[in-house]
């Protein structure tokens, strides 16, 4: 066996964040994920100020992600789900439709807010569509 085959396979975890908009101050308002290799998956609403989102969120973003109809007023994660996602990403490949520009930036904010290392993933795959 070569050294390469002795190493455990790096898993791919697909992440999708719904956000308050696409500007730098935008925040994640819902996160969904799926580990393609283990089939573990989850979704949660990270803690955030709903009044701020209503006031500062981009109307198109909030309409597209259904913020007012689906997300606002729902229970926010108590830290359990964000830690679960952080653990699933540790040392793995992160993938998604928007990981290069936005999703990773929003995850960093969510992980920092939870007191976790901001970038647990090892590699970022190209965007998938």
Residue 8 in tokens: 């455990």
Q: What is the pTM of this model?
A: 0.90
Of the candidates 123, 129, 124, 121, the one whose C-alpha atom is nearest the C-alpha of residue 97 is 129
Q: The domain spanning residue 45 has which CATH number?
A: 3.30.420.10
CA 74 – CA 81 distance, rounded (Å): 15
Domain that holds residue 72: 10-124
Q: Is residue 104 part of a domain?
A: yes
Number of independent structural domains in the chain: 1
Q: Give the confidence band of 71 by pLDDT, cuts at 50, 70, 90.
A: very high
Q: Is residue 3 part of a domain?
A: no
Min mean pLDDT across 5-14, 52-61, 67-76, 88-97 is at 5-14
Q: Is residue 35 part of a domain?
A: yes
Q: Is residue 100 part of a domain?
A: yes
CA 105 – CA 101 distance, rounded (Å): 7
Q: Is residue 39 part of a domain?
A: yes
Q: Is residue 22 part of a domain?
A: yes
Q: Is residue 17 part of a domain?
A: yes
Q: Give the confidence band of 2 by pLDDT, cuts at 50, 70, 90.
A: very low
CA 19 – CA 21 distance, rounded (Å): 5
């Amino acid at each position: 066996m070569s050294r390469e085959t002795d190493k455990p396979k790096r898993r791919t975890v697909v992440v999708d964040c719904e956000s308050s908009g696409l500007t730098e101050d935008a925040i994640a308002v819902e996160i969904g994920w799926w580990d393609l290799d283990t089939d573990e998956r989850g979704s949660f609403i990270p803690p955030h100020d709903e009044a701020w989102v209503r006031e500062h969120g981009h109307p198109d973003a909030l309409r597209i992600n259904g913020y007012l109809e689906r997300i606002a007023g729902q229970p926010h994660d108590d830290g359990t789900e964000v830690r679960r996602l952080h653990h699933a990403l540790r040392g793995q490949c992160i993938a998604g439709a928007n990981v290069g520009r936005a999703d990773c930036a929003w995850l960093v904010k969510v992980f920092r807010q939870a007191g976790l290392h901001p970038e647990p993933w090892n590699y970022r795959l190209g965007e998938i569509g």
